[in-house]
Amino acid sequence: MAIMSDARKTNLWGGRFTGETDRGFADYNRSFGFDRRLFAVDVRASIAHCDGLAGARELTGAESNEIKSALQAILDRGQTDASYFDEPNSEDVHSFVEARLVEMIGDVGRKLHTGRSRNDQVATDLRLWLRDELDRTALALRSVQEGLLDLAAAHAEAAIPGYTHLQRAQPVLFAHWCLAYFEMLARDRERFADVRGRVNVLPLGSAALAGTSYPIDRDAAARALGFDGISRNSLDAVSDRDFCIEFAGAASLVMMHLSRLAEDIILYSTTEFGFFELSDAVATGSSLMPQKKNPDSMELVRGKAGRVFGHLAALLATMKGLPLAYNKDMQEDKEAVFDTADTVNASLAVTATVLRNLRLNEARASEAASHGYLNATELADYLVRKGMPFREAHETVGRIVVHAIERGVELSELRLDDLKSFSAGIEQDVFASLSLEQTLATKSQTGGTAPGRVAEELKRAGKQL
């Protein structure tokens, strides 16, 4: 049959229909504009299905060889010639590949869709596509983690102020701050690995919704396509998109973490904080104000987090009211999944670049970590060690802080007799306790910011990578 030039006549359901599809609806219905990204996996899955049909003796060896070499030629052409896809007629990637196949080898090509539906086909394609993408994301996450470890190692001894409520709270090692984000991303990697396990299940063989009536060896197809197992219920297999939602959920958490990192970097790069200066490589200037250096890279990462959260919400909303089994609503899953993957991978890549180009102004950070009474808790702990109940110590130090603020000095700049007037138990050794070094060193339990602990955690993190 000659390929007709009108999409309304090239649809896949000829027999039942006498009338033509409305042109506007045909365009609306069409997903080839975006699901062409499934092209390569669609061909791979078709080759596996072809082997399945040959194994079930639905195709002769000669037929299956003819189909497979045509599919291979289609794949090669698609991978080398972008104009191949400038084709206005195909409804989706599945009909595109089938049309090319029939164009090449005629009636034999029409046998390929035996025992298969676009419903199990699209579910298979999307899982294959996502599996590859998850592997790329795992590497991208790793390179951000490497960036954090390298940054920590470049400033192994440096301290920064730690904040709560964005008020100076207690000093922490800069490496401790780096490792905080390392931990978040380590959990993100675990989540993606977990999602991958549930993605890597083969739906092919479920056909439209009820399963296939041909004796296809589904396990062999799963092995051929690298799936860990096969789906156990055909209704579920063609209509489940929770693997997409899980992916968007895990990606949302990555973006939330990257967004917080971005926010810290943006804030710490302001003149007010002055801990970082962004490299020219990842900053932009202003067309009007000559002095400006703007952290657009990190602002975009922060901004794109919202976009990924939107995809998660969209997928959940699309699925929540759908009766079993397949419904065309589900065609809306693809753009959400594609854009989530693209956004998270691009954001990870840019973040890794920002980290590779980041340097801490150690003098400025340590100055900030030693001013603003970040050692007040340390003084309270000192009084506790001298036998005072913590509540009383807290109250006493509060009064000492007010006194120091009035005099415009830090706690360590108060004279010993001055301090003694608040508590007779205070002795000369208090000054050692108030030092930045001591304040850090006392946080020596697992998870604390003492330099020894952080060095251990850095080593552990390096091994983990």
Contact status, residue 134 vs residue 338, Cβ threshold 8 Å: no
Which x/- pattern over 280-319 shows residues binding ligand ARG (rule: CB under 6 A)?
A: ----------------------------------------
**Which amino acid makes up residue 90?**
S
By beta-carbon proximity to ligand ARG, the closer residue of 243 and 275 is 243
- For 416, how many CA atoms within 13 A lie in the half-sphere containing its CB? 8
By beta-carbon proximity to ligand ARG, the closer residue of 63 and 98 is 98
CA distance 1 to 114: 19
Task: List alpha helices for 200-295, DSSP H.
Answer: 218-224, 234-239, 242-268
Contact status, residue 214 vs residue 56, Cβ threshold 8 Å: yes
CA distance 382 to 372: 18
Nearest CA-CA partner of 36 in 72, 87, 70: 87
Of 69, 286, 421, 444, which is the active-site residue? 286
Q: Which of residues 29-48 bind ligand ARG (CB under 6 A)?
A: 31, 35
CA distance 452 to 156: 11
CA 439 to chain centroid: 36
Q: Is 286 a catalytic residue?
A: yes
Q: Smallest distance from the beta carbon of 337 to ligand ARG, in angstroms?
A: 11
Instruction: Give the interface segment with ligand ARG, choosing from 117-125, 136-144, 306-314, 359-367 (CB under 6 A).
Output: 117-125
Other C-beta atoms lying within 10 Å of the C-beta of residue 34: 15
Contact status, residue 275 vs residue 365, Cβ threshold 8 Å: yes
CA distance 152 to 156: 6
Other C-beta atoms lying within 10 Å of the C-beta of residue 48: 23
Q: Smallest distance from the beta carbon of 51 to ligand ARG, in angstroms?
A: 22
Instruction: Give the interface segment with ligand ARG, choosing from 72-80, 116-124, 175-183, 456-464 (CB under 6 A).
Output: 116-124
Q: Of these, 42, 51, 66, 92, which contacts ligand ARG (CB under 6 A)? A: 92
Q: Of these, 21, 206, 231, 331, which contacts ligand ARG (CB under 6 A)? A: 331
Residue 239 interacting with ligand ARG (CB under 6 A): no
Of 46, 49, 117, 165, which is the active-site residue? 165
Contact status, residue 443 vs residue 450, Cβ threshold 8 Å: yes
Q: Smallest distance from the beta carbon of 208 to ligand ARG, in angstroms?
A: 7
Which x/- pattern over 122-161 shows residues binding ligand ARG (rule: CB under 6 A)?
A: x---------------------------------------
Using DSSP, state whether 1 is helix, strand or coil. Answer: coil
Residue 326 interacting with ligand ARG (CB under 6 A): yes
Residue 320 interacting with ligand ARG (CB under 6 A): no
Q: Smallest distance from the beta carbon of 311 to ligand ARG, in angstroms?
A: 16
By beta-carbon proximity to ligand ARG, the closer residue of 39 and 192 is 39
Q: Smallest distance from the beta carbon of 125 to ligand ARG, in angstroms?
A: 9
CA distance 79 to 112: 22
Contacting residues toward ligand ARG, per CB under 6 A: 31, 35, 92, 118-119, 122, 326, 328, 330-331, 334
Residues carrying an active site annotation: 165, 286
